[in-house]
Chain A
Amino acid sequence: MVLAGEIGVVQPIIKVDRISKNFGAFQCLNELSFEVAPGEKIALIGPSGSGKTTILRILMTLETINSGHIEVDGDQLYHVERNGQLVAADEAHLHRMRQKIGMVFQLFNLFPHKSVLDNVTLAPILTKKMKRADAERRGMELLDMVGMADKAKAMPAQLSGGQKQRVAIARALALSPKIMLFDEVTSALDPELVEEVLNVMRKLAAETDMTMLLVTHEMSFANDFADRILFFDGGRIVEEGKPGEIFRHPKQERTQAFLKKIIAAGQRI
Chain B
Amino acid sequence: GSAGAITLEELKEQGFARLAIANEPPYTAVAPDGKVSGAAPDVAREVFKRLGVPDVAASISEYGAMIPGLQARRFDVITAGLFMKPERCEAVAYSEPILCDAEAFLLKKGNSKNLQSYEDIAKDETATIGAPGGGTEEKLALEAGVPRDRVIVVPDPQSGLKMVQDGRIDVYSLPVLSINDLVKKANDPNIEVVAPVQGAPVYCDGAAFHKSDTALRDAFDVELAKMKESGEFAKIIEPYGFSAAAAISTTRDKQCAAAQ
A and B touching (Cβ–Cβ under 8 A): no
Task: Give me the interface of B with A, judged by CB distance under 8 Å.
Answer: none
